[in-house]
Structure 1
Amino acid sequence: MTQPAQMAQPAQTMPTAPMNPAESGTTMGAAATAAASAVGAGGHKTRRIVAAILVVVLVLVAGTATFLGMRGMLPWQSVPVPSLDQLAGKQGATVDSLTADQVEQELRSEGFQTTRSQQYSGKSAGAFLAFSNVSEGQQLRHGGLIDIVESLGPGVPSGTVGTQAADSKQTLAGMNVPVTYRAVVTSVPGSSFSSAGTDSGSTGTDAGSTDPSAATPGTVVATYPADGQPVTDTDKGITVAVATQSDTGIPVDYYGQDPDAVEADLESRGYTVTRKAKFGTKANVGKVVASDPALGTAAAAGTSVTLYYGVDSQTVATDRDKALASSDPARAIYANTMKAAGLYCKTDGSGCITLTQACPDSDYCFLTSSQLDPDSNYGYPIGLDPCYIAQGTCMGDLKATGAGTDKAASWDDSPLLFGDTGTFELVSSRQIAYGYCGTDGDWKYWKRETMSGGDSWQVCVNGQVQDYHSLADGQNADTVDDPGYQMDDAWYVYVPVGADIKAVEDMGYFDTDAMSQAASQGEPDSDTPYLIARDPSLYTDQQRRQYKHDVFPDLASVDMTTNVNPSIAFLGNHARYAVKPAPSAQSAYYLVENPTDPNNLASFPQIPDDQIGDPSVPDSKSSDQQQADQAAAERQTAFEAIAGTYNYQFPYFTFTSEIPSGVGGADCGTTTLTLNSDGSYSESFTVYSQPCDPGANYTGTITDIQKVDDQTYDVTFSGPSDASVKSAISQGQKGQVWLTGRKVTEAPVCTADQWNQMEAGQGNLTCNQVSDITDDSGLLEKTVLVPDVSDLNKDLTGPNYFYVYLRQ
């Protein structure tokens, strides 16, 4: 039976919206029934539990609010930005030693949100510099955003080019590296070019300026490192080129001007002018982008000047077709690649690549890269081959070329240069022609190679170079070749302005995963020439270096002509590894197009500290001092050109059996001569046979050096002043250094018959036996030191000799 007391409690139901009077009777009855069902015999107990829960919740909320409020963590509360002393104390560090990571860790632990910005400074990379948007103690709401400024280490801040030199001094001085200011010539006010701008358009690295007064006196026109790039040599530091007015020389404000007008101006002032093309930014196509001597040089009237004007991708096909129609297509296409010479940098400052011209002889030049060391086999720069050379010469029969392909060479293998994309490849020659043999990382020819006399062969056996005659019994030289495949650093796709890189992507040239990653990194700046450089670090260890026997264990049964090097990425190679990374704003190395080459600023005269920023100073130094600086720079350049380790070699040149004892002669030992870039030298004599005069270990200086021509330097050695000291080089001895590519003209190169007659004792030589270190036309393939010039003038019909040191 329902208790009356329970029936009398309809007021405890939840409030509702006003009822329709027509529905009130039935609704009230239903409500009463529901209330009676909800409240039973345990109703009082239920209410007490609900009340208790509410009390607990209120207490927890109040406690949490109190806790958060005491710490300033409620959304409507403000809290102070911690002081640097507080942050350093919590990290057990000093304020000066705080890193950006440490500051970020502490701020986040206190509830702040953080972002980072970066800038160059005199502190090491990763160091904390400042807050960019708040100050210590400033009140911020909980969860407020604080931007942390992180140091990138020393570098040239973006936007330095185009500013006044005087304004840059304090900022650059704060980098804690040497800063040198150099004067470059600009036109005097009122001349036809004095108001010329240096609008380089987009350089990809903000290395130019669009300020029309950028070449006015006192303005920074170039820097080394390039604008926006880090300092990589803290001893060399930063060099700043400053426009200095002059009425002589090649004004830097020719940059970006019409070549016709510039040529007319130069000729009117007594200079001889020729023109050459060079890849340039979109803004400078058809305009002056460089010169030789360099823009800004105080060259005297009468000097021959080469003007370089900007071109785009349209010239690629035009030059290619002309080259193919020429008598020497290979050399013509090599010459065409010279247009790509220059400095290329990433926008984030993470790296630069320099493409420079190398000329082993006056008729033959090629590009080389700062990523490539000199050839360990020959000592001269490693070239960058365009597709024509690579496909026509190095993608043929494996046994013939050492590279290998699955089919005959064809220009169709590279639709970049020989298609209509406007792009082309620049490829390390050693990637194509060399293999890897050994464990020391040196590139060596892996294929059998005829050595002296044609009877001494080298082969690669299980990663070791062995002499053919040392092979174990039963080994067949035709089956022991065990080449290694090593991925070289230099494999570039060159993309001039106007080129169709999308077409190259559609060909499958780049790795699929790399393409997906590049899609989120933005498109490259198509208004600036750029390189896409293959990055070996993006490949596995096995892809970067592997031996053929690891891939083809049974070499004896394998057709060597069908085994291809997968690191050769031409599209005609069926085993190729697709190129990584793919083109993007982050992966591109952009041309740094400056009025003056950042790599060559040291050749300009230095500006005294008290004259920096004074545009009224026509010359930064006195004429005598400038000449002295120039002579010192030329002397330093000469020392750097001949520097290296030289080993005594005998015989390479005309000789008899009269060999000087104890100075590197036969049957005694060998002398190693080290020429240093500061002009010092040292001798080290190693005895390998007894009894012998031990010679001497001696250190001296090159007291004089003179450039005879581009491949020849006269040198004078100090030698030991004590006559009792035995030395390969005597006091005051004069010698010559002959650089790679020099034509040996001191005597004709010996024929095989002449040499055989001499060995048979049938007469003295009237020629030079230099074939081992020259090519077929008599050009040196290695740099040599001839330590006694007097030998060069001897009558070669008599019993004479002269010995040389060979640079390693």
Structure 2
Amino acid sequence: MFCTHCGSRNGEYDRFCTSCGAKLEEMPPAGVNAPHNGTDEGSVDQIPSVQEPMQDATGDAESQVVTESASEPVQPEHSQPALPQPDVARSKPAQSEPDVTHDADEAGETDETDGEADDFDTIPLQSVADEVVEAVDEPAQDEPAQNTEAASIATDSTDSVANGKSKSRLSRRGVVLVVVAVVVLVAAVVAGVVTYRMELWGGRSLPRVSAGSSVSGRVPSARSVAKQLGDRGFKASRKQVFSGERKGAFLGYEGARGGERVRAGQRVVVRESAGPGVPSDTVGRQASVVAGELRGMGVPVRYKQVAVSKSGKIAPGSVVATYPEPGYGVTDTKTGIYVGVAVRSDAGLPADIVGRGVSDVKADLEAKGYTVKTEKRLSSKKYVGKVSGSVPGPGSKLSDGQTVTLYEGVDAKGAKQSYALKYSDLDNNALLAGSSTVVEGRWCANSGSCITLSSEEAGANVFRIKVTEGGSGKEDGIDDSVLVSCDVGQQFFCHADGDDYLLQGDTGAFELFPRRAYDGYWCGSSFIITNSVALQRCKAGVPVDNDLDSDYEDISGGEYRMMNYFMVAPVGTDLKALESKGYFDTDALKSASAQKSVDTSRPFLLYRDPKLYKTTTANVDGDSLGKNPFVPMHGDGGKNMVRMKPAPSDATAYYLVESTQPDWDTLADAKVKGVTNAKQGKPLNAALFSNIAGQYVYYQSGDGSLLTYLTVGKDGSFTGDLNVADLDHGASVATAPRIKMPFHGRFSSIEKNSLGGYDMQCDASSVVYKGEKEYKDSIGVIPCTTWHWYPPNTSFDSMTHGSDVITALEINLGTMDEDRTSWNTAILTNDGGAYNAYVPREE
């Protein structure tokens, strides 16, 4: 059957067109009345489709229709309801349809008219169906009765239309349901967006905090940002990062940006400025890469050529050393940062001697004509048994025949061996000295707090250790007290085997505490000595003199005070043994267990912090005399020492800074792509320094008990030591042990003066003094300012400070003759030092 809408052929039982979807209807040929005799011949199914191609008037199809029509009686017009003809119904209302009694010619005209109905193919079928339903429900009043078969046809047609309407209503209901579903979905989406923006789900946004600029002065603190995060339900922590911003400034979030959504309860790391410094991963990277990070530190940055072995593995252009050390902040913003850039050369002291075997490096240097000494120093695990440092520092330039000291790294076993001494007058028995230079160096905590332990020579192979930075400072007025590891007295070795000193144990650790701590106690502001020749004792809190009849134990009002105390843990220390021994406070151990573990691959020390103790004093009377609870000494006194606070953790440890600093100012500038070195003073004139290089001596006392040795190098550097006779034990100046307090520094410039000599400017930042503070001002070097070198027989009156030079020379020589106007040797003097005059030293 053919579709009346689009003309497509469909199956015999199809109700809707498979091409356009229109309802399929069968209509009788134009001009032929529907049969009503109850037979099937006039059924609707036998009526050809209106759109079916018509045959010629004489054709069989048309003849058949006419023949069948002629045998039936003619019916009145409108004798039955019009069958649904969508196109025809719209083009010609039912009442104006052509009369079915028309002949063939008229029928042909009707076909033409039906063909014109194609112009209305776009009329919706639903409207046609509605018209048909109306025609069925309301038949014309003058319409004659219809036969059963016609009624059946009408009923079928009506059911079909009704079914279509029912399906249409179902479609409308589906549309409504879809619309409702869409509305609900949209509402849910809107609600989701609103609640998401309200941060009721999906995490929370990090506060949009501008890192600001130190120029604008509006730099928020990392602490305040962390507090905001805590108030919003985040777990916030701060991480210090070196930068050019002020300390404590907010630098941003780590791994996230402001406004970014983060799961509630997630830990957020706030980057906090630690001020300018050298990142810990600087060494080993290319200088051109590092330069970008250091450029924003806000301090001068200088790049220097540092020699590395030609046969070594260090890549040229990589960073081999820095000042300050990697991971440490800048302490002098004027000096700023130095960066050593690797340059392959066999001249000088190669930077890559660190980590090599001591004997191999020693042999190489001696083959080049240098004098080499070795000393043991605590080191990290990777340097044990190898070179861990040197003096001058690795990478420095060397002058001909210069002496180089190599440091050999040692662990706990080597540290104890460094304390061992042998005395021929004691049957060669191996004893433990009270101190050792093995501990010398700078120790720093992750917080940036540092403690420096320096040594001074007190005799043959005997040194004294002092705190020159950090610790308790001037607390109790003994900040300069010598530190020892056991009860040394007039001799320099431990003599009480029964005491509880860590050095004598097998844990590998050892202590450092003031020697005066077990020598006496405090009486008000006075310190009372309690040795065998004690001259005083404390009575009712007041010092009183002793005599032969005095009861030395009749003491009242005295007290022991907690003073500097350190526990040193070399690599290989048995910390578990110390814990089981009860050395650490129980609460301190619990606190440490909640922190990051200490790095045992590096030597560290613990500083006993008085702030962690409720009580830092103890009464002294006759029964407690000699039992100081703050030091491990004298029998049961040591076993009753207060437990150590803090316990070891990464936060409480002071790690040894293994310095590999070259002599920076002797090094040539390195060319780094995209970098301009910070400006420095005038370049040194090595030729001029060669004219004054040599050894000098300055006598601060007439008897030779106090003098300073000074050596000026051809490169403008200088070294020396204050030499003091130790007269504490009644020895003469000639026989007393000499205590050496070393120092070193360098000159930044040299120029000829009008007197035939030279004027040198000292680099004050380069001067390092490792001696007792009470002698600091008497060495003639500090403050280090402008120096002058005068040739022999220079008039005192022409010198910048001629009268001071005369005074200095008279200390050693006595009063000069009034007519003496000059000196017969060269004189080296420092404007900053009072009454100093260095003269050439005679060997």
- TM-score using structure 2 length: 0.55
Offset of residue 385 of structure 1: 0.8
Residue of structure 1 aligned with 2:342, choices 243, 262, 268? 243
* Alignment correspondent of 1:730: 803
1:724-777 Cα distance to aligned partner (Å, 9 max, x none) = xxxxx9364351699xxxxxx999xxxxxxxxxxxxxxxxxxxxxxxxxxxxxx
Amino acid at match of 1:678: P
Cα distance change, pair 537–366 in 1 and its aligned pair in 2 (3 A): same
* Alignment correspondent of 1:161: 283
Which SS does the other structure have where 1:172 is aligned? helix
Amino acid at match of 2:616: R
Residue of structure 2 aligned with 1:84, choices 191, 199, 209? 209
Cα distance change, pair 675–378 in 1 and its aligned pair in 2 (3 A): farther
Any unmatched runs of 5+ in structure 1?
1-60, 196-212, 396-408, 452-456, 549-554, 648-671, 681-700, 707-715, 722-728, 739-744, 748-783, 794-808
Any unmatched runs of 5+ in structure 2?
1-186, 677-681, 690-713, 719-744, 748-761, 815-832
Preserved CA contact (<8 Å) 1:717 1:733? no
1:681-701 Cα distance to aligned partner (Å, 9 max, x none) = xxxxxxxxxxxxxxxxxxxx8
Mapped to 2, the partners of 1:638 and 1:705 lie a distance apart of 23
**1:624 and 2:711 equivalent?**
no
Preserved CA contact (<8 Å) 2:381 2:571? yes
* Alignment correspondent of 2:604: 530
* Alignment correspondent of 2:562: 487
* Alignment correspondent of 2:253: 131
Residue of structure 1 aligned with 2:351, choices 221, 233, 252? 252
- TM-score using structure 1 length: 0.57
1:168-224 Cα distance to aligned partner (Å, 9 max, x none) = 33423423334444544322x3x3xx22xxxxxxxxxxxxxxxxx3xx443333333
Offset of residue 362 of structure 1: 5.9
Mapped to 2, the partners of 1:645 and 1:530 lie a distance apart of 29
Amino acid at match of 2:274: L
Mapped to 1, the partners of 2:805 and 2:788 lie a distance apart of 8
Mapped to 2, the partners of 1:144 and 1:340 lie a distance apart of 43
Amino acid at match of 2:453: L
* Alignment correspondent of 2:199: 73
Q: Which has the higher contact order (CA 8 A, sep 6+)?
A: 1
Offset of residue 253 of structure 1: 0.8
Mapped to 1, the partners of 2:619 and 2:683 lie a distance apart of 60
Preserved CA contact (<8 Å) 1:720 1:731? no
* Alignment correspondent of 1:118: 240
Give the alignment of 1:135-534 within 5 angstroms.
Answer: 135-138=257-260, 146-187=268-309, 189=310, 191=311, 194-195=312-313, 213=314, 216-316=315-415, 318=417, 323=422, 327=426, 333-334=432-433, 337-346=436-445, 348-360=446-458, 364-369=462-467, 370-371=469-470, 381-387=480-486, 389=488, 410-414=496-500, 416-438=502-524, 444-445=527-528, 460=538, 479=554, 482-489=557-564, 491-534=565-608
Q: Which moved more, 1:365-374 or 1:146-155?
A: 365-374
Which SS does the other structure have where 1:413 is aligned? coil
Offset of residue 539 of structure 1: 1.2
Q: Which moved more, 1:567-576 or 1:288-297?
A: 567-576
Amino acid at match of 2:242: Y
Mapped to 1, the partners of 2:772 and 2:304 lie a distance apart of 26
Mapped to 2, the partners of 1:613 and 1:246 lie a distance apart of 24
* Alignment correspondent of 1:544: 616
Amino acid at match of 1:127: A
* Alignment correspondent of 2:643: 578
Mapped to 2, the partners of 1:257 and 1:475 lie a distance apart of 63
- Identical columns (%): 30
Mapped to 2, the partners of 1:286 and 1:349 lie a distance apart of 30
1:257-297 Cα distance to aligned partner (Å, 9 max, x none) = 12232223223222233433333222222222123333222
Cα distance change, pair 259–121 in 1 and its aligned pair in 2 (3 A): same
Mapped to 2, the partners of 1:509 and 1:142 lie a distance apart of 43
1:503-533 Cα distance to aligned partner (Å, 9 max, x none) = 1221112212212222222443232222222
Q: Which moved more, 1:460-469 or 1:255-264?
A: 460-469
Mapped to 2, the partners of 1:378 and 1:702 lie a distance apart of 34
Cα distance change, pair 324–249 in 1 and its aligned pair in 2 (3 A): same
Mapped to 1, the partners of 2:775 and 2:348 lie a distance apart of 40
Which SS does the other structure have where 1:290 is aligned? strand
Q: State which structure, 1 or 2, has the greater radius of gyration over its C-alpha atoms.
A: 2
Cα distance change, pair 185–610 in 1 and its aligned pair in 2 (3 A): closer
Preserved CA contact (<8 Å) 2:609 2:646? yes
Cα distance change, pair 137–250 in 1 and its aligned pair in 2 (3 A): same
Mapped to 2, the partners of 1:374 and 1:146 lie a distance apart of 38
Q: Which moved more, 1:369-378 or 1:413-422?
A: 369-378
Residue of structure 2 aligned with 1:605, choices 640, 663, 666? 666
Cα distance change, pair 675–449 in 1 and its aligned pair in 2 (3 A): farther
Preserved CA contact (<8 Å) 1:645 1:674? no
Preserved CA contact (<8 Å) 2:247 2:274? yes
Preserved CA contact (<8 Å) 1:84 1:95? no
Preserved CA contact (<8 Å) 2:423 2:430? no
Mapped to 2, the partners of 1:523 and 1:140 lie a distance apart of 29
Which SS does the other structure have where 2:339 is aligned? strand
Alignment size in residue pairs: 554
Cα distance change, pair 504–746 in 1 and its aligned pair in 2 (3 A): farther
1:222-255 Cα distance to aligned partner (Å, 9 max, x none) = 3333321233444554443443443321211111
Which SS does the other structure have where 2:503 is aligned? coil
Cα distance change, pair 362–605 in 1 and its aligned pair in 2 (3 A): farther
Mapped to 2, the partners of 1:675 and 1:789 lie a distance apart of 9
Mapped to 1, the partners of 2:430 and 2:453 lie a distance apart of 18
Mapped to 1, the partners of 2:352 and 2:207 lie a distance apart of 51
Which SS does the other structure have where 2:504 is aligned? coil
Which SS does the other structure have where 2:362 is aligned? helix
Mapped to 1, the partners of 2:789 and 2:427 lie a distance apart of 42
Preserved CA contact (<8 Å) 1:536 1:544? yes
Which SS does the other structure have where 1:422 is aligned? coil
Cα distance change, pair 418–238 in 1 and its aligned pair in 2 (3 A): same
Which SS does the other structure have where 2:365 is aligned? helix
Mapped to 1, the partners of 2:588 and 2:355 lie a distance apart of 37
Mapped to 1, the partners of 2:402 and 2:450 lie a distance apart of 32
Cα distance change, pair 434–538 in 1 and its aligned pair in 2 (3 A): same
Note the aligned Cα RMSD (angstroms). 5.2
* Alignment correspondent of 1:587: 652
Which SS does the other structure have where 1:411 is aligned? coil
Mapped to 2, the partners of 1:259 and 1:640 lie a distance apart of 27
Preserved CA contact (<8 Å) 1:703 1:718? no
Amino acid at match of 1:294: G
Offset of residue 72 of structure 1: 2.4
Which SS does the other structure have where 2:404 is aligned? strand
Q: Which moved more, 1:492-501 or 1:314-323?
A: 314-323
Mapped to 1, the partners of 2:582 and 2:797 lie a distance apart of 58
